[in-house]
Amino acid sequence: MTMDCEECDYRTKLTCSGTGLIKDILKHTTVPGQVDKTSLRVSFVRRRQDGSQTIKEEDLVTVVFWSSAAQIINDLASVDQHIYLDMEIRSSKEGLVFKAKSFEILD
């Protein structure tokens, strides 16, 4: 099946959200004439049951913040703070990129 018209394209952006723990604050960069960029390494935990035991599995991902969000993260975020993130997943030369759409630092 091919898509011949713009109205027939029902694809959407790929998004995700969750609460994680900031593990590292990566380099903040400002490109003259462009926007700021800051990245965080954030730990998310998946939990599953194995019999009566709960097993935790960690996912450590890099989340990118652009523009004014990058400045706020650079000024306010600290390692070991919890953060709620609403993200867009994008592809790049390096693979999948998690781009922050909105966030709330929880502690």
Q: Give pTM, 2 decimals.
A: 0.84
Label residue 82 left, alpha or beta by phi (over 0 means left) and psi (-120 to 50 means alpha). Answer: beta
pLDDT given at position 9: 84
pLDDT given at position 79: 97
Per the domain annotation, does 6 fall within a domain? no
Number of domains in the chain: 1
CATH of the domain at 56: 2.40.50.140
Q: pLDDT tens digits for 13-57?
A: 999 999 999 999 998 888 777 788 999 999 999 999 999 999 999
Residues in Cβ contact with 80 at an 8 Å cutoff, skipping those fewer than 6 apart: 21, 22
Q: pLDDT tens digits for 57-84?
A: 999 999 999 999 999 999 999 999 999 9
Per the domain annotation, does 4 fall within a domain? no
Q: Which domain holds residue 32?
A: 15-96
Per the domain annotation, does 57 fall within a domain? yes
Per the domain annotation, does 22 fall within a domain? yes
